[in-house]
Amino acid sequence: MIYLLLSGYNQLIHRYMKHPAPSGLVQMLITNPLYFFLLPALLCIFCQPSSAQDIEKYVTQYTVSIRSVAPDSAGYSDLEAFGNAIGDARIVMLGEQDHGDAPAFLAKTRLIRYLHEKKGFTVLAFEADFFGLNNGWDQADKNNPYFFLQANIFPLWTFCDACNYLFRSYIPQTQQTADPLQVSGFDDQMVLQFSKSFLTKKLDSVLRSHNLPVTHDPDYESKIIPLVDSCRRTSLSKESLFDEQRNYLLRIKEELGKAIPPNDFWMLVVDNLIAESNQHRSAKNDGSQISFRDEQMAQNLLWLATVKYAGKKIIVWAQNGHVAKPGNFNDSWQDNIHYMGRVFDGIKPPSLKTYVLGFTSYEGEAGRIGTKTFDVMKPKKNAFESWVPDSMNYAFTDFTSFRNTNPGVDVNFRLKGLGHTYLHKGSAWHRIFDGIFFIRKMYPCNQGSR
């Protein structure tokens, strides 16, 4: 038995040391049992944990070139590595450093085409109006959906020239096929055209149709409904009104929950209104506003994946931070935020596999539509952006193989994963994202024709 244990230790050394185990180690330990107790120390000496040098070598060796980000580019052979990396994931999340990154939008559009045409993804969910892109999309004219999309997805994207192909051509064209790309949204900010016009009216109709006690309250029409409607605005005239607003919403949720199933769409609408109220009320600069929003977005995405589009493959379009998975940012402010990707990872069924693709860029300019452009931060010498071979203008790096060969190991390194700057310290980006799409030259959107 002792020999078997020692043999196991010897095999471990063979497996984890960077050079062969010393000759006769097992025999030495048998004849000198004292060395048995020194074995852990020997392992510590010979086994070095993965470091920034290891991840740099991995990135340099395994990053693959992407031929083009042009959405209408013919052929997908250069995307095969990406396709292999996502495996059997049912949800693929596509990030972006900021909401004005034109080449990232082009790349995401091409990836959407690939995922839809080659990998069986049939739903495209945006970081946009949950109510409008669900209740509204279900009723929209699919023969000419562009104007609906323009009015109910944030103009950061719909007015960007780099998104013209997606919204004006690709999505509308798929509606005329046997395999249309369904559009959805998961953002609790229900503030766009369809929600402005119909959310409160339709919610009122639902509450009345179930004859809920709240609809017979003397203040229902004069106070309750106006306060519910004001959830979608950023401020109320008095702090005390937030308390009333929240209490009315909780009352509506309780009463409605007795009339309809807990996973009914309208229960989630009320939850989103509560999240909006909490988000607008929070004035602390501690990330709580982001957390209120992201926690609800995670619940919305879970509902899409398990109820409305159960069994369907979903593409998520959002900013890098929102899709970030559990992993150490090594930054107290960022680590305190409950980002959607982190929350979703904790509440989804284990069988629901995801793949999160973050985006980064080497140099150039950035800026959202309607704002002043700025230079992106220059790449640091010991950062991911500097490790990508100079010959690659666009590239893809999959971190899953690195994680599989280094289980339980966190390697902190620099990457412009949250916006176009670096955090103060390195982060475990290989856990925060499953892969990275690299863009050498960033440039901002131009406003396209409306």
DSSP 230: G
Residue corresponding to tokens 């509560």: 274
Residues 209 and 231 in one domain: yes
pLDDT given for residue 94 in this prediction: 98
At 276, list the tokens.
């909006």
Looking at the structure, do residues 88 and 184 belong to the same domain, yes or no? yes
Taking Cα atoms as reference points, which of 145, 18, 83, 90 lies closest to residue 313? 90
424 and 331 in contact (C-beta within 8 Å)? yes
> Does 242 lie in the same domain as 391?
no
Query: Residues 78, 179: one domain?
Result: yes
Same domain, 85 and 233: no
Is 78 inside any structural domain?
Answer: yes
- Does one domain contain both 350 and 403? yes
Determine, yes or no, domain membership for 448: no
What is residue 390's three-state secondary structure?
A: coil
Low-confidence ranges of the chain (pLDDT < 50): 1-31, 33-49
CATH number at residue 69: 3.40.1660.10
**Helices 265-281 and 193-209, axial angle in degrees (round to 10):** 120
Q: What's the predicted TM-score (pTM) here?
A: 0.88
Same domain for 352 and 321, yes or no, is yes
371: in domain: yes
pLDDT at 55: 94
Q: Total domain count for the chain?
A: 3
Q: Please state, in angstroms and rounded to a whole number, the distance separating the CA atoms of residues 276 and 230.
A: 10
Give the span between the Cα atoms of 212 and 232, in whole angstroms.
Answer: 23
Q: Determine, yes or no, domain membership for 447.
A: no
Residues 264 and 338 in one domain: no
- Judgement on whether residues 34 and 84 belong to the same structural domain of the protein: no
Q: Is residue 449 part of a domain?
A: no
Distance set, CA 173 to CA 31, 109, 154, 390 (Å):
76, 14, 21, 37
Identify whether residues 331 and 318 lie together within a single domain.
yes
Residues 370 and 415 in one domain: yes
Same domain, 124 and 264: no
For residue 92, what are the domain limits? 52-192+291-442
